[in-house]
Structure 1
Amino acid sequence: MDLQTNDDQHFLIYKPFGMLSQFYSNSKQQCKKRFLGELYDFPDGVMPIGRLDEKSEGLLLLTTSGKMSHFVNSQNIEKEYFALVDGAISDSAVNKLRTGVTIGFEGKKYKTKPCKVFRIKDSLELPEAEQKIRDDRHGPTSWISITLKEGKFRQVRKMTSAVGYPTLRLVRVRIGNYILDKAMDSGAVRPLEKLTF
Structure 2
Amino acid sequence: MQYKYFIVNKPYGVLPQFSDDGGRPTLKSLGKFPNDVYPVGRLDMDSEGLLIITNDKLLNHKLLNPKFEYDKTYLVQVDGDITTEAIKKLEKGTQITVNSAPYTTLPALCKKVDKPDNLQERNPPVRFRKNIPTSFIELTIHEGKNRQVRKMTASVDFPTLRLVRFAIGNLRIKELKSGGVIEVQRDLLYEKLGLKTNDREEKPKARRPSTRKPRVPTRNPNTGKAPTSKKRYGKSR
> What's the TM-score once normalised by structure 2's chain length?
0.76
Deviation of 1:70 after TM superposition, in Å, equals: 1.4
1:40-67 C-alpha deviation (Å, 9 max, x unpaired): 1101111111110010000001111112
Conserved in 1, the CA contact under 8 Å of 2:115 and 2:136? no
- In 1: Cα distance, 2:131 partner to 2:16 partner: 32
RMSD across aligned positions (CA):
1.4
- In 2: Cα distance, 1:24 partner to 1:134 partner: 28
What is the percentage of aligned positions where both structures have the same residue?
38
Based on CA coordinates, which of the two structures has the bigger radius of gyration? 2
The equivalent residue for 2:9 is: 14
Deviation of 1:122 after TM superposition, in Å, equals: 5.4
* Counterpart selection for 1:185 from 167, 172, 177: 177
**Gapped runs of 5+ residues in structure 1?**
none
* Counterpart selection for 2:125 from 124, 129, 132: 132
Name the amino acid aligned to 2:57: G
The equivalent residue for 1:114 is: 107
Correspondence list, 1:37-76, <5 A? 37-74=28-65, 75-76=68-69
Conserved in 1, the CA contact under 8 Å of 2:79 and 2:161? yes
> What's the TM-score once normalised by structure 1's chain length?
0.90
Q: Residue 138 of structure 1: SS of its match in structure 2?
A: coil
Deviation of 1:135 after TM superposition, in Å, equals: 4.0
**Gapped runs of 5+ residues in structure 2?**
194-237
Conserved in 1, the CA contact under 8 Å of 2:112 and 2:136? yes
Deviation of 1:154 after TM superposition, in Å, equals: 0.4
Name the amino acid aligned to 2:43: L
Deviation of 1:124 after TM superposition, in Å, equals: 3.7
Correspondence list, 1:86-97, <5 A? 86-97=79-90
- In 1: Cα distance, 2:101 partner to 2:171 partner: 33
- In 2: Cα distance, 1:127 partner to 1:39 partner: 17
- In 1: Cα distance, 2:92 partner to 2:181 partner: 35
Number of residue pairs matched by the alignment: 187
Over 3 Å counting, the alpha-carbon distance change for 1:142 and 1:20 in structure 2 is same
- In 1: Cα distance, 2:4 partner to 2:56 partner: 8
- In 2: Cα distance, 1:120 partner to 1:62 partner: 29
User: Higher strand share goes to which structure?
Assistant: 1
